[in-house]
Each structure stands twice: as structure tokens, then as C-alpha cells.
Copies of this chain bind each other. A is one copy, B any other.
């Protein structure tokens, strides 16, 4: 349609502004999305709003790099547009968005942020609703998502006293690399949803605080951007979704190794992406109800978002693929998403460098157990069946999910983990405050580590030993007997003494 090299004019694009023929401009290129309208995970309405126009500003934050070209047939990419001829899109700010921007202005000072929970509380108020839905959602009834945090509350400390804790040091080594704390920034997708700098916020803050970042396959920023943003000698790991096309995977892995990535974390808990209903429901909210009622039954959107960005993931990945990975890279290989002692021992037997006991932040199989619970059985069986004790240089075990406090981390360390991955809290930190937020989050963790190491009676992480944690309740999954509503309703609650006036008024 465009003569070779000849950019398309804005006027031509503007003519294709309907459901019958819908072109849009993204990053200076024109795409014919007419046939894609009904498949778009975010609904057709949002695309039609930009039919014939430049959609870059809307597109940018909520898609991974190359999302559009990866998801459209080659021929639908019509070539570059002559930007000078394109009419500027006036972004109308809705009342809702105005209210959100007012909330952004009203954020409390970072000095008022006292813990990681605070970032989430603020982020929830200042992030675009869709972004919040994407980050916070989890699978099915979100039971595992919350269990990840709850499980830590079944572990209680046995702190020791009268030890000289003048000097405390919570630095450690992960896969041989120094870190100032036993925490790494784990991989999470679509960082630009929360902040225009996306994952770079994490890279920069990780450098500043001497912690390790795991780069996600589904980052909003490209892999190279993130590596480029690192300081010399800054340690980065790579999280990998394995592509059905192994050549693509080989290229990614070898490129990463060449760029200095120190370890490869292969995700094994996501052969198919979970149904995250909070996120799915958000999409419907955004749609035109009328249109939905007409066409809704025909299009299955339930797996749209997942498919769009994750359709390449290979559900056929299996143990016998491991040697191939070992053949294409010298990076240590770690399986991310192991959930039983059986699989952890298999990984050990196959010479892998470690496992992350994880359920993908509760976003995959609901009623999967928390990493911290699985850790207890892995430690026990590694000892019993392989004679291996943790922590262990040769085979390192990590956990992630649900961590909000340094005490959570220290429980995992005491039980044998080398380090703990933290994801959403950092997302919320930069969504609310950019890199400053991540810096503050890490500083809070430092403060908590210092205090809690002292209170545990430990000078270093080596002194944080299994005896310091009571694990006897970790496997208890209790659901209260359903309440007796009639009895409870009849029971008149006790009251404390009350002020006289208050009484008078009542």
C-alpha cells in the first residue's frame, strides 16, 4: 500500500477510521487492525477510539515491546507514517482520571512511608485502575495469593538473648554473587503499567542498594534497555519463559549470557497462564456495555490477555529438555516454580543450580501451597533422601510470594533458603513513587533487617538457624466451621464503660 520506503500520509490513515477498515499508528508505523479488533484482549472499543489516529500514547504503557508486530500477521504492518501529516490526538482526560491525578498530587511524603504495605496502599489509589488490576490480580479465588502471606504468620520466632549484637550484617551471596541483603527483585511483567520508566526503576535502585534484579521475559522495557541501564558489574539474572520455538529461546539465552547475565531462572509453573478474574473483569468494565451485550457471547476473551502476551510459551517443556539447556549455556540454571519436594530433588539430581519454591505469586494454580511451606518439606527430604543440608552453595533454594517484612525473609533464611524473591511490593513502590519508591522500599528492608537480626540474637545470616523458628503449624490449613448466624446474631456483645455524655446521647 505504501510504495517502498514512501511513508504513508496521515490523511490516508485517517480514512481508515471505522470497524470496517481500522488503521492505527504506533511508534510511527501504521497497522491494519481491522481483523484483530475482536481478538484484542482489551476489547475493540479502545482501538476504535484511535481508528485512523496515532495510538502510541495509549499503547505504550500497557504493552510489552513489539506486542503489536508480534501479534499481527506481517502483512498487516503497512509501514512508516509521515508523522508530520498526522493530526495530534487530543487526549481527553476523564473525570475519573482527573481524580486519579489529584490523588497522585496528594501522595504522602516518602518519609511517611513506614513499611512495604504503605506502598501498596498508595499505589492502589494513584495507579490507573487497569494497572492495579493487572498487578494485584491472581488466579481463581485468589486463595493461594493470600495464603502466600498468611503462611508466614504460622511461623513464630524463638529469639535468643544476651548475644553481642553490636555488629550485625545481613549481606550474603546468591549463586556466588554478593548482595547487601538476602532479597532479590524477582521478575514481574509489564512494568510500564505502573510507571513510564518501567523495570528501569528497579535496575537503577538495585544498583544503588547492591541487590540483584531478575529481568522478566515479559518486561515492558526491552531486555537490552534493562541491561544497558545497569552499572558496570551490577549483577542481573534472567527469568525465562521457554518458547515453543527453541531457536528463539536459544538466541535469547545466549544473548543474555553474552550480555553478562549471571543466572537463568526457567519458569516451570506456567505451561498455561492462570485465569485472573480480577484482571478479566476489569476489561469488561472498560468496554461499551451495549457492544458487549451484542457480540459478547461470540468472542471468548477469557484467555485473551494471557494468550496475547504468552501464546509463545511451550506447554511441552519437560525434564528431558534440561540437558539441552545445559548444552547451550554455562549460566547456572534454576527452576522457578517448583512446588513439591519430589521436583526439588529431581532438580538436584539433574545437577541444576537451584530451585525457586514459588507458585507465581498466586497467579497460576489456586490452592497451590506457599513457597515457605514447601521449603519445610524440601529441607526435610533433601536431608533424609540425599543427605544435603540447606543453605548449600552447590544447590540453592529460594522462595518467593507474600513477603512484606524482613521478618518474613528471616523466617525463610532460618529454614534454609539462600534468599527470597520480592516482586509486587517493588512494583507498588515505583508505581507510587518511581525509583525513589524502590530506594525507600529497600531502605526500609535494611532498617528492618538490622533491627530484627539484633532482636533475634544473630550477627549474620549464618546465625539465623532452624531452631529460631517454630514450624509446627506450617502445614495447618484451617477453615473455620461455618458460623451459626442465628446464635451469633442473638448474642449481645459486651460493652466497656462509656463516657457519660455518649451514654446520654444513646
Contacts and interface: CB of A to CB of B under 8 A. Distances in A.
Given A163-B318, A269-B455, A317-B164, A158 B369 contact: yes
A324 B319 CA distance: 55
Given A157-B368, A481-B477, A436 B297 contact: yes
Interface string A160-171: 111111100000
A16 interface: no
Contacts of A161: 268-269, 335, 337-339, 343
- Quick one: which of A146, A314, A481, A501 has the most chain B CB within 10 A? A481
A114 B283 CA distance: 12
B479 A480 contact: yes
Given A141-B405, A161-B338, A121 B490 contact: yes
Contacts of A225: none
A491 B424 CA distance: 13
A140 B343 contact: no
A165 B118 CA distance: 40
A40 interface: no
Contacts of A150: 479-482
Contact of A122 (B271, B452, B476, B499): B499
Nearest to A504: B289
Contacts of A141: 405, 484-487, 494
Contacts of A473: 475-478
A388 interface: no
Interface in A455-504: 455-456, 467, 470, 472-473, 475-482, 484-487, 489-504
Contacts of A162: 268, 317-319, 321-322, 335, 343, 346
Q: How many copies does the complex hold?
A: 4
A354 to B, nearest CB: 14
A176 interface: no
B136 A284 contact: no
B478 A108 contact: no
Contact of A365 (B272, B455, B484): B455
Contacts of A140: 115, 405, 407, 448
A125 B492 CA distance: 12
Contacts of A340: 158-160
B122 A450 contact: no
A296 to B, nearest CB: 3
A285 interface: yes
A303 B269 CA distance: 41
A76 interface: no
B487 A278 contact: no
